Amino acid sequence: MIYNLKFSKSSAIYLLLVFTPIAVCLEFLHVGYVILFVVTAIALIPLAKLIGDATEHLSTYYGSTLGSLINVTFGNAAEIIIAVVAINAGLLELVKASITGSILGNIMLIFGLSMIAGGLRHKEQLFNKENAGLQSSLIFLALIGLAIPTILSSTMLEGTDIENQSKIQILSDSVAILLLFVYVVGIIFTFFTHKYLFVLPHSNTIEQPMERDHNHWSKKRSFLMLAVSMVGVIVVSEILVGSVEETSKEFGFGEMFVGAIIVGIVGNAAEHSSAIVLARKGKMDLSIGIAAGSGTQIALFVVPILVLVGIVLGQPFTLEFTLYELATLFLAAIIMNLIAFDGKSNWFEGIMLTSVYIIIAIGFFFIG
């Protein structure tokens, strides 16, 4: 059975799907990195929209919270694969920078742009502040876990480098296991024991309720589109990130800036697009769930998985970050918590979040 994507005004962007096979062909032809970067970046746009559309349709069956989790899971699959490849190649610092950039991009950039997109179309939107508060608390917990190995490393005065590194690795492994445990328990708390806390008690006065019209996708079709788009994002993102490093060198960008900003944005292109589109449609609760949920999943799920994968691959991956990375992460989490506290959003709050992200990005540029 062939599924028709209906190229209307809102879905004409699917015409850009042709850039996906073009990107794969150019990769095999070994064309210039700059050309490859541009083509793969364009290819990610329709794939990201396809993920967002499939998730939006699924959310009408499972609710916005579970719909957000589905979107975040598929969106971060590409990032996990790219990070694993980088770890296997020994690019540990680049992976750490990309982790920092991904968390910052989700809780600052996506959060901010979603508020701007939704606020310009709807004066004020409501979202579940309990859910946003839980995500914020989980991010703080994860950041504490990321900070402890770094603090331990800076206070070690005795012992050889090998002994100290071994202690940091053991601590990182322990933190990773505990963060995974908290992530699983958090899912149980959200979806089972206390799921009533994460239902918006009153409908958004601006948005329309989720309806299933004659164009609504079935579960089977939605999952199929999610699977196809995820495979596409994984393939294209891997090619794009492979070209980003060489392209950035050509333009004189440093490794930390490449990892934290360029790779951070590119690796989360699917969530970026989906969250912004949903916010513009008035579905701010789902949009915030994607933005905050993606940041939480990276901190509590992706990071621990990468630590454990490093052990398997024989490339020890510790949770030892730079002071600037940790400082920006904590500041971003604090600002996100303050803005999301009242459960309301407008375009000015989005401007503030986005501005802070740009300031942090400039800092990464000068650090290199």
Q: Specify the pLDDT at position 231.
A: 87
Tokens of 324: 């600037």
Question: Exposed, middle or buried: residue 108 (CB in 10 Å: 0-12, 13-18, 19+)?
Answer: buried
CB 97, CB 367: distance < 8 Å: no
Please write the tens of the pLDDT for every residue from 97-127: 989 998 999 889 988 899 998 888 888 887 7
Residue with tokens 């690796």: 267
CB atoms within 10 A of CB 77: 17
324 within 8 A of 102, measured Cβ to Cβ: no
Q: Quick one: pLDDT band at residue 206, thresholds 50, 70, 90?
A: very low
Highest mean pLDDT among 27-41, 64-78, 349-363: 349-363
pLDDT per position as a tens digit, 143-169 = 998 899 988 888 875 656 777 888 899
44-99 residue pLDDT tens: 878 877 877 787 777 777 765 666 566 656 667 767 877 887 788 777 888 899 89
Which range, of 137-141, 203-207, 232-236, 324-328, averages the lowest pLDDT? 203-207
Q: Domains for the chain: give ranges and CATH numbers.
A: 15-367 (1.20.1420.30)
CA distance 2 to 140: 46
pTM listed for this prediction: 0.80
3-class secondary structure per residue, 173-185? HHHHHHHHHHHHH
Annotate 1-18 with DSSP letters as a single string.
Answer: -PPP----TTTGGGGGGG
